[in-house]
Amino acid sequence: MKEVTTGNHAVSYGAMLSRAQVIAAYPITPQTQIVELLSNFCATGKLKAKFLKVESEHSVMAASIGASLAGARAFTATSGQGLALMHEMIHWAANGRLPIVMADVNRSMAPGWSIWTDQNDSLSQRDTGWIQLYCESSQEVTDSIIQGFKIAEKVYLPVMVILDAFVLSHTSEVIDLPDIKLVDKYLPPFKARDMMDMKNPRAFGGLVTPDFNFELKYKIQEAMNQTIPVAKWADREFKRILGRSYGIIEAYKCEKADTILVTSGTITSTSRYVINQLHAQGKKNVGILKIRMFRPFPAKEVVAVLSKAKKVAVIDRNIGYGVGGIFCQEVKAAFGNEKKHPEFFNFITGIGGRDVTPKDIQGIIDYTETHKKPKEDIIWVGLRK
């Protein structure tokens, strides 16, 4: 059923269609509408879930961990400062191998106090063992929540589905809400492989000596390695049953591209708009590589697409202070042992919610095409100096 809805409500619908069983929540702008609608779904019986209002984001994740350990399908959502407060429990969820799905509405970290978007909140969690999916449309948000559970419950790692504050969270657009019967077919009820059992009481999260802990961490990396084929399978199954697919990355109009933009989040969508116009004018030497899955980082897939290009312009709406754009670092690292690599240009833009326009994207393309090499390590777009 087609509907006009916001990115935030697309998250709520995704959780409802996935039949989440426990939702622990603490509101934070710009995420509030997500849990508001979920609370409504629970109150009106549209979603048969336990809705837990807790006292902080740290408690949100603690409650989600408890629910997941008890064998429930657990969902939550947060943003920016809330995600940061959760940080200890974020590690806990992944190290505990719990298939929790959480939406993060990207919000710039304070100070300066902000409610607007950039990716530094979610990227600060990149090494916690969570799978990360970055979305460019409300449709992709709903679908990624559903796919998220499919992936999480297969590899026993939590999944973070990420959307831009306001540009997606508060923007209404047309989405096709999947039929819940088809979602049921895609995502059967969660049966935990190992959960709390009142008849067989055990402790969880106890002391692990150096004799064993190394291997536990190794297994997380092993699960991350499995995640790439599993996510591809989950996406294929989604296509088969629900008719849409996204890939873990997407090469868009790269067939004749010697310059490729690397994008994530809503910047991908605006870049498509620019590239479509260029291609319509007969200029077909620019394409896009959208990175949807950032963790695990699909290095092999990224190299396969980008190695055909002469120049790669990575657009980062984030910054690893003292290094540069975080997506750019990862893309470059993927080429570490390759004999040949394209020339990398790192553009940083849209920090703190600064608008990213088609003109900005065109400027990025123009700079890349007119320079043999970048003049600076970081090329700032839209910065007032």
Binding site for another protein (CB under 8 A): 2, 4, 115-116, 165-168, 170-174, 266-267, 269-270, 272-273, 276, 353, 355-358
- Nearer to another protein by Cβ, of 170 and 244: the residue is 170
Least distance to another protein, CB of residue 251, Å: 17
Least distance to another protein, CB of residue 165, Å: 8
| CA angle (161 as vertex; 348, 263 as ends), nearest 5 | 30
- Nearer to another protein by Cβ, of 247 and 352: the residue is 352
Q: Is the dihedral of CA 240, 246, 250, 253 positive or negative?
A: positive
Least distance to another protein, CB of residue 138, Å: 10
In the sheet with 101-106, reading across from the earlier edge strand, the strands are: 50-53, 22-25, 74-79, 101-106, 159-164, 131-134, 293-295
- Nearer to another protein by Cβ, of 153 and 250: the residue is 250
- Nearer to another protein by Cβ, of 170 and 308: the residue is 170
Least distance to another protein, CB of residue 98, Å: 33
- Nearer to another protein by Cβ, of 188 and 358: the residue is 358
Least distance to another protein, CB of residue 357, Å: 5
Residue 39 CB neighbours (<10 A): 18
Least distance to another protein, CB of residue 359, Å: 9
- Nearer to another protein by Cβ, of 153 and 360: the residue is 360
- Nearer to another protein by Cβ, of 173 and 369: the residue is 173
Reading the block at residue 310, the tokens are: 């002469």
Reading the block at residue 354, the tokens are: 């600064």
Q: Is the dihedral of CA 198, 201, 202, 203 positive or negative?
A: positive
Least distance to another protein, CB of residue 169, Å: 9
Tally of CA atoms within 13 A in the half-sphere of 301 that contains its CB? 18
Least distance to another protein, CB of residue 295, Å: 24
- Nearer to another protein by Cβ, of 268 and 346: the residue is 268
Q: Say which residue the tokens 């959780």 belong to.
A: 15
